[in-house]
Amino acid sequence: MASSPVPLGPLVRRWGLSISQLPNETPEPAEFSAFLQSILEEALPFIDEAAPKDATLPSAPFITPEFQANPVDLNKTALQKAKKDWKGVAQKTSRDSTSPVSVLKRVIPAEQLQQIATQHKVAGQSNAREETWAVRLSYHEDTVIKGTADWAEFDRGFRLDHAQTEKAFTPNVIEALESQRWNCDGIKLHVAGEQWHQFQLIVVEMRHKIGRPFLKDRTFPVIQLSCTVDAGDAPHASSEFVVVSIPVHDFAKSPKAQLSNQKDAQIADYVSVERIRRLANGQIEWLLGTASDARGILPLGIQDLALLNIVWKDVPMYMKWVEQNRDPYFFDR
């Protein structure tokens, strides 16, 4: 019997958060932990439906011989297990990556979003528009060779230094600044059957060029949460981490704003959930889902089509960049 879809929540949405909903600079510990837990409780089950975790693709901080000895087509297996709301769109390949990239989508109807907004008293969303989520999924050899990256490179690039890595390998990102950071020392939370630790919570502002000289640059302020599965005494620090980015649509009003408050800033929105995990067969799974709105004159339907066509390109762009910029002193193996 098919399981029911995971209920959607009000936090991991394209409509984002207001600065009034962000934690104080020195938040009360219980309230701060509850804020982090609320985000994870929405994000983890949501993205898991696109590529469900189970015994056939377990996370593991080290290689398990039984899985290494029985290789499978992971892209095909994962697509077969995706819940019915997630539809396969395409599979893409590039000479810069040894791994194909599967593209999926999910459309969340406006009526459903309006119900969520009403239930949770989300301000300004009585006429919420549908969300189209574009998802990419790929599997990579955990090694330092052309066309792939090892676990340390994924961990450094996407957990510890996400914004600067994205700026480095993405030509359209022209600035990325960390504008606010909270102290997450010692926080551990149990969510979705796992113990999570090594939390980071920051506000990042990014400026993208999207069509110069005809279209203005877009500025994306997001609050970004990252954390890892606590692997205990395993040989490696973790077998899985997630990065959740949520728009902060009015961050220009914050005294900490650096890009959003510039006179020419055109504020835009993106929400994303990224899950990267090391599998028991020795491969690395890279999963990302995102929905966005550049605002301005571009119709949202055209933007959604464009996003589905380009979301996969981050994979070969990163693999090309990391192959050209490897430094054994930078990546902590």
CB-count exposure of residue 297 (10 Å: 0-12, 13-18, 19+): exposed
Predicted confidence at residue 70, as pLDDT, reads: 52
CB-count exposure of residue 193 (10 Å: 0-12, 13-18, 19+): exposed
Q: Measure CA of the first residue to CA of the last residue in the chain; give whole Å.
A: 44
Predicted confidence at residue 329, as pLDDT, reads: 44
Dmax over CA atoms of the chain, in Å, equals 58
Tokens of 46: 């949501």
Asked whether 150 and 144 are in contact (CB, 8 A), the reply is yes
Beta bridge partners of 288: 136, 274
Residue among 138, 113, 140, 116 nearest 128 (CA): 113
Predicted confidence at residue 123, as pLDDT, reads: 84
H/E element, 226: strand 218-229
Residue among 113, 162, 119, 157 nearest 133 (CA): 113
pTM equals 0.92
Asked whether 237 and 229 are in contact (CB, 8 A), the reply is no
- Ranges of the chain with pLDDT below 70: 1-5, 55-73, 233-238, 327-333
Predicted confidence at residue 64, as pLDDT, reads: 58
